[in-house]
A and B are shown apart, each in its own frame.
Chain A
Amino acid sequence: MDCTEIKINLQALIDNILIKDELQSVKAHLKTCPACRSELNALRSVADGLAGLTLYEPSKDFNRTVFTRLGLEYQPSLFPGWLSWSVAGSLSLLLSWLAAIAVGLSLTAYAMKPYKVLFWLQHPGKTISDVQMALVKIGFAINDTVGFLANLLGFLLKGSSLPAQLAVASIVAFAIISITIRFLRPQPKYH
């Protein structure tokens, strides 16, 4: 290839669109031609300079104005993205804990005998102390349930590396957060 052809291919080299044979020819020529090397450096300076151009910021009311022109009510996000995710994550964990409690209560209620309800209605004093005892038992049942779930998870992840455990925990958390956000998202308003 002569310099005229090479100079055309230099542009393609900048854009990484040369095929293998062309690339090899260009590289071989550049090793021996300072003029073409200089041309390439100049093109690279131009490309790098363009890549570093400032991204201009429109006015602060840009989004609001777009919504106004569309006739839509503008409701900007009150919190930055990371805060929304943190709140959603915390709510997800709380909901998960409440779900575990519900499971514990169900298991406890299933173990109760029906005739005891009539006895409690006839003996309120005894009922109060029995309710207190039941609450304590519920507390222990919840503790046992959470412990069971933790042991189950530990068993499933036994022997796995920390990254694997973190990955599983992240996937579960992400699923919970996504579902929570889906249900908690406010409905849009239209004029």
Chain B
Amino acid sequence: MENRSDDALLVRQCLDGDNQAFDRLISRNKRQVFSLIYRMIKNPADAEDLAQESFIKAFRNLASYDPSYPFITWLFKIAHNTTIDFLRANKTTILSLDNEESSIQDECFDQSLEESIDSLSDKSMIDKALTTLPPTYREILILRHQQELTYAEIADTLDIPEGTVKIRLFRARNLLKGKLLNLGYVQ
């Protein structure tokens, strides 16, 4: 993980009018933002567009960034809102927490996980299993385990209480674990 205090310094330089500082901010954070959005919507072209839009919104609202919080958390919040708006606009079923055990209704995602199991490496197996979860479960698992955000940071990013973060995370992990158990990834 990049030094988060460096991001705060770059933001100050951006606000002073240094565009190269914003270029460095993008370079330091674009993979994380793009990866998160891509795993939520699984369309690379749309994911890139949404990631760019997130950085554009961040640039236009840099003055409102509170440096007491990590910049990446603030950026994820923008990316989350942008992606949710996109999913709603495309009439995608985001998540009904009561129905998390049912299959995803989105046509975008590959449902043939079991069929392709023999050709998958462990990493791609997890990725494939991840795609069968609702987008908000995918998102919270990535924020917690790949991006290593704390419960408080996730709560701030997703604008939900910490208790909800905990419950959603536990459910998401159990769901993913169940799918991977069926595939023999975990014993």
Number of residues from B at the complex interface, CB < 8 A: 47
Q: CB < 8 Å: which of B26, B38, B127, B144 contacts A62?
A: B26
B142 touches A53 (CB 8 A): yes
Contact A76 B52 (CB under 8 A): no
Q: Which of B27, B32, B151, B180 contacts A46 (CB 8 A)?
A: B180
The CA of A12 and the CA of B170, in the complex, are separated in Å by 9
Interface residue? B30 (CB, 8 A): yes
Does B18 make an interface contact (CB < 8 A)? yes
Let me know if B71 is at the binding interface, CB within 8 A. no
Q: List residues of A (88-144) whose CB comes within 8 Å of B's CBs.
A: none
A70 at the interface (CB under 8 A from B): yes
Asked if residues A8 and B51 are in contact (CB atoms below 8 Å), the reply is no
A56-B35, A63-B26, A188-B18 in contact; A49/B185 too (CB < 8 A)? yes
Q: In the complex, are the beta carbons of A62 and B177 less than 8 A apart?
A: no
Contact of A162 with B by CB under 8 A = no
Contact B185 A45 (CB under 8 A): yes
In the complex, are the beta carbons of B173 and A58 less than 8 A apart?
A: no
Q: A41-B187, A42-B177, A58-B51 are in contact. Are A15 and B151 (CB under 8 A)?
A: yes
Q: List 11 A-B contacts (CB under 8 A).
A: A45-B187, A50-B145, A53-B39, A53-B123, A54-B35, A55-B31, A58-B31, A58-B51, A63-B30, A73-B19, A188-B19
